[in-house]
Amino acid sequence: MVALNKLIKEKFVFLLYFICVCTFIQAQSAQIDKPKFKRHYYIKKSVYEALPNTNDEILFVGNSITAGGKWAELFNDLRIKNRGISGDVTEGILFRLDEITESKPLKIFLMIGVNDLSYGLSVDSVLQNYKRILENILKDSPNTKIYVQSVLPVNDNFDYFKNHTNKGELILELNRKIKLLAEKFNLVYIDLFSFFVNEQGKLKEECTFDGLHLNGQGYLLWKSTIEKYIH
């Protein structure tokens, strides 16, 4: 009877062990299968990868706010290429940095971070990724001139993107730290924030229809602010 009990116990322990191993394997394969980013991200990444590399590229890298700018048209300059992806985050930029540095671009205008904050990431986590982005660009394309652009202010007077437009305070903190980071790397920091903020500390209402994205007037203001760095 004791021997039988022991046998059952052993079998039970083995079964338990087997279940644990199976669960672990399943979790691992799920981790492999599950895409890190949204479908839209992979579509745009594939579009950018399919485009030819050219000389002296000037890349605008960022999220939907960058993606919404018709940069080559605004500056009448075919060297300028849009590498914005709607919804992108610092990790997303890191994950597609090879396509960005591959052509050894002349200049990169970078703006990223507001989506990270909207997902609840801490300022220091965003900054850690930001640092890795700068390090990797400088490692893979040391002659590229990087322009670090501040994150823009948001405006919570609109009924859109509430998870973004309530991050006004965090954006201030993030920009302070991005500026220090840019200085540490000896890069140009462009304080767009100051040009886009109104007296209430919010994104100027004439520049937006939703408190987060820019309208036509917004892009014209952006253009006038960075024009001197393009040519």
Contact window for a second copy (CB under 8 A) among 19-27, 141-149, 180-188, 213-221: 213-221
Burial call 172-198: b when 16+ CB within 10 Å, e when fewer: bbbbebbbebbeeeebebbebbebbbe
Is 206 an interacting residue with respect to a second copy (CB under 8 A)? no
Contact window for a second copy (CB under 8 A) among 23-31, 103-111, 194-202, 207-215: 207-215
Is 172 an interacting residue with respect to a second copy (CB under 8 A)? no
- Using CB under 8 A, pick the residue from 26, 157, 198, 215 that binds a second copy: 215
Which of 97, 85, 91 minimizes the C-alpha distance to 136? Answer: 97
Is 224 an interacting residue with respect to a second copy (CB under 8 A)? no
Q: How far is the CB of 93 from a second copy (least distance, A)?
A: 18
Q: How far is the CB of 216 from a second copy (least distance, A)?
A: 3
Q: How far apart are CA 193 and CA 56, in angstroms?
A: 28
Which residues from 79-118 bind a second copy, rule CB under 8 A?
Answer: 81-82
Q: How far is the CB of 40 from a second copy (least distance, A)?
A: 8
Which residues from 181-200 bind a second copy, rule CB under 8 A?
Answer: none
Is 138 an interacting residue with respect to a second copy (CB under 8 A)? no
- Locate 44 and state its tokens: 């745009």
Which secondary structure element, helix H or strand E, spans residue 147, and what is its range? strand 145-149
How does DSSP classify residue 198?
-
Q: How far apart are CA 29 and CA 81, in angstroms?
A: 37
- Using CB under 8 A, pick the residue from 6, 9, 220, 224 that binds a second copy: 220
Contact window for a second copy (CB under 8 A) among 43-51, 107-115, 129-137, 144-152: 43-51
Is 70 an interacting residue with respect to a second copy (CB under 8 A)? yes
Residue nearer to a second copy on the CB measure, 23 or 217: 217
Contact window for a second copy (CB under 8 A) among 67-75, 130-138, 171-179, 188-196: 67-75
Determine the residue type at 74: L
- Locate 91 and state its tokens: 């990790």
Locus of tokens 């850690």: 128
DSSP string across 91-134: HHHHHTHHHHHTT--SEEEEE--HHHHHTT--HHHHHHHHHHHH
Residues with Cβ within 8 Å of 178's Cβ and at least 6 positions away in sequence, in order, are 113, 127, 130, 148, 150, 151, 189
Is 72 an interacting residue with respect to a second copy (CB under 8 A)? yes
Is 47 an interacting residue with respect to a second copy (CB under 8 A)? yes
The residues binding a second copy (CB under 8 A) are 39, 42-44, 46-51, 54, 68-70, 72-74, 76-78, 81-82, 160, 209-210, 213-217, 219-220
